[in-house]
Structure 1
Amino acid sequence: MNKQAMWSIAIKDMRAITSNIQIWLPMLIVPLILGVVLPSALLITARFFDLSMVGNTDMIVNVIQDLPEGGLRESLEVLPTLNHQLIYFFMLYGFTPFFMLIPAMASSVISANSFVGEKERKTLESLLFAPISMKTIFIGKILSAFIPAVAITFFTAILYGIVTNIIAYPLFDQMIFPTWEWVILIIWITPLLSLLVILFNIIISAKVKGYQEAYQLGSIIVLPIVALVVSQLTGLLFLSNFVLLFIGFIILILNIVFLQLATKWNDRFRLSEQQI
């Protein structure tokens, strides 16, 4: 494998991201909303208003009251007010699934542009028949999406932690972020999930003719994460340490499966027939 060519492909694709507003704008807006705007608005509101009077929080209150015996329930029960309980629940548990959406969406947006982007730029044929292996091309394409997606997620998590600790500190008299759930999520789940979405989208991108088609089909993989968001906020499933580790192993297995499927496209002539 030609490492120099691999990094050249990855760097070229990452540079192409900055010149395409369809790609970089969603990657910036969604993390800022989920990681900074929403938590900031919630925390500032909690500092000055009774959250139970601001909106319909009955569902979350019921979820908190129905929690099983254990660490989370005990942590919430010792807090002095409902505001403290709601903030603690939302910031350390409610927003957790959103940080699975960020790498999934960023990876999907970038990797959907993988091969169809080359076709639209009229560079696919020269790439496929360059004197480098298909393995080099595929790894370069994977890195071009993996590095920005993971970097955006890590940076958003840092901003989220800063916002949470600064604004919530007067309420709790201590820094409440991060917890072990968040460490597992960012270090274990984020890279694996990003790779899964990238592999899924590269397979799709290798078959379809245009970016919009690739992006729409690739977005299907985000649906299970949306289900996790709903499950977390309704109390059907809590992303505890064990659950997060288990999800990570499932994603790891899926990565192996998708990698096997992706390697079937290591035939430049077959790929060329599909795209040109």
Structure 2
Amino acid sequence: MNNRQAIRALIRKDIRSVTSSIQLWLPMLIVPLIIGIIVPSALLWAASRMNLHSISNINVILETMNRLIQDGLMPSLASMTSENHRIVYYLALYMFAPLFLIIPVMASSILTANSFAGEKERKTLEGLLFTPMSMSTLFKGKVLAALIPSLFLSWVTFILYGVIANILMYPMFGKLMFPNLNWIILIVWVVPTCSLAVILLNVLISAKVRGFQEAYQLGGLVVLPLLALIAGQATGMLLIGPWMLFGTGAVLLLISWVLLRLVTIWNRRQQLAESQI
């Protein structure tokens, strides 16, 4: 068996182990469905059709938009005819964007926690270590087995959200508004680099700990910086633009390179075998 065949076999095996367990694949579907489709769609529908001042806590977002207009950060909002137009535009094209980083982080954490830690719990890692495949091939298979489903889930959610957003926005604006440049950079550049960084970090953690739950809990700490990013975007303190997204992706790529070096240095065949004892 050559390296490509071994990698494909590892990918199929890892994906099959996830799809065969409802405890693993159900959260991977529910979370994107809620934060990527149901909640944004409900808020966009409400913002486009309701009296905004009748919605509790909406004044916080209205004040944020007014501050952005006054500071000249979003001149496109100033030319819109109503507060409903402004808030729908702001929600659909700016405020919901950071939420889509949670989807690959969550999916990657589940998939990679099930990687080495899951193999240890199932007592199957030792068999993999005794196969003739190289450690490089083993890690490539593990990384790709998490990266491919993570990106697929993120992109499918993005497409569904885009369809719904355009359906709700078209009657108001008379044209297709989604996606803008920020969303394209986010999905094409930031989501893959974020997924890769999270996967490599979780592979590193998963190879060191003994169980799935421990690996998943440690890997889940990656969500904390994203919550700060979401709060900054919602309050207008951190308005994400194209250059910031390009820079974020570049930093994540650098972090991935560092993590890849650590994975290859810290995880030797003998070390992983000894962790089974």
Report the TM range for the smaller structure's normalisation.
Answer: over 0.9
Deviation at 1:238, TM superposition (A): 1.0
The 2-side partners of 1:71 and 1:156 are apart by: 32
Equivalent position of 1:228 in the other structure: 229
The 1-side partners of 2:46 and 2:115 are apart by: 42
Deviation at 1:46, TM superposition (A): 2.6
Equivalent position of 1:35 in the other structure: 36
Deviation at 1:52, TM superposition (A): 2.4
- Gaps of at least 5 residues in structure 2 are none
Equivalent position of 1:267 in the other structure: 268
Deviation at 1:161, TM superposition (A): 0.3
Deviation at 1:48, TM superposition (A): 2.8
Mapping 1:25-104, distance limit 5 Å? 25-67=26-68, 73-104=74-105
Which residue identity does 1:105 align to in structure 2? M
Deviation digits for residues 34-56 of structure 1 (CA, Å, limit 9, x no counterpart): 12101211122134311221221
TM-score where L is the length of structure 1: 0.96
- What SS is found at the alignment partner of 2:74? helix
Matched residues, number: 276
Which residue identity does 2:143 align to in structure 1? I
Equivalent position of 1:141 in the other structure: 142
Mapping 1:140-179, distance limit 5 Å? 140-179=141-180
- What SS is found at the alignment partner of 2:68? coil
RMSD: 1.4
Which residue identity does 1:180 align to in structure 2? L
TM-score where L is the length of structure 2: 0.96
Which residue identity does 1:108 align to in structure 2? S
Equivalent position of 1:252 in the other structure: 253
The 2-side partners of 1:248 and 1:222 are apart by: 16
CA contact (8 A) 1:36 1:159 kept: yes
Moved more, 54-63 or 226-235: 54-63
Deviation at 1:71, TM superposition (A): 7.4
- What SS is found at the alignment partner of 1:206? helix
Q: Percent identity?
A: 49
Mapping 1:198-213, distance limit 5 Å? 198-213=199-214
2:181 equivalent to 1:180? yes
Deviation at 1:274, TM superposition (A): 1.7
Deviation at 1:266, TM superposition (A): 4.3
The 2-side partners of 1:224 and 1:109 are apart by: 18
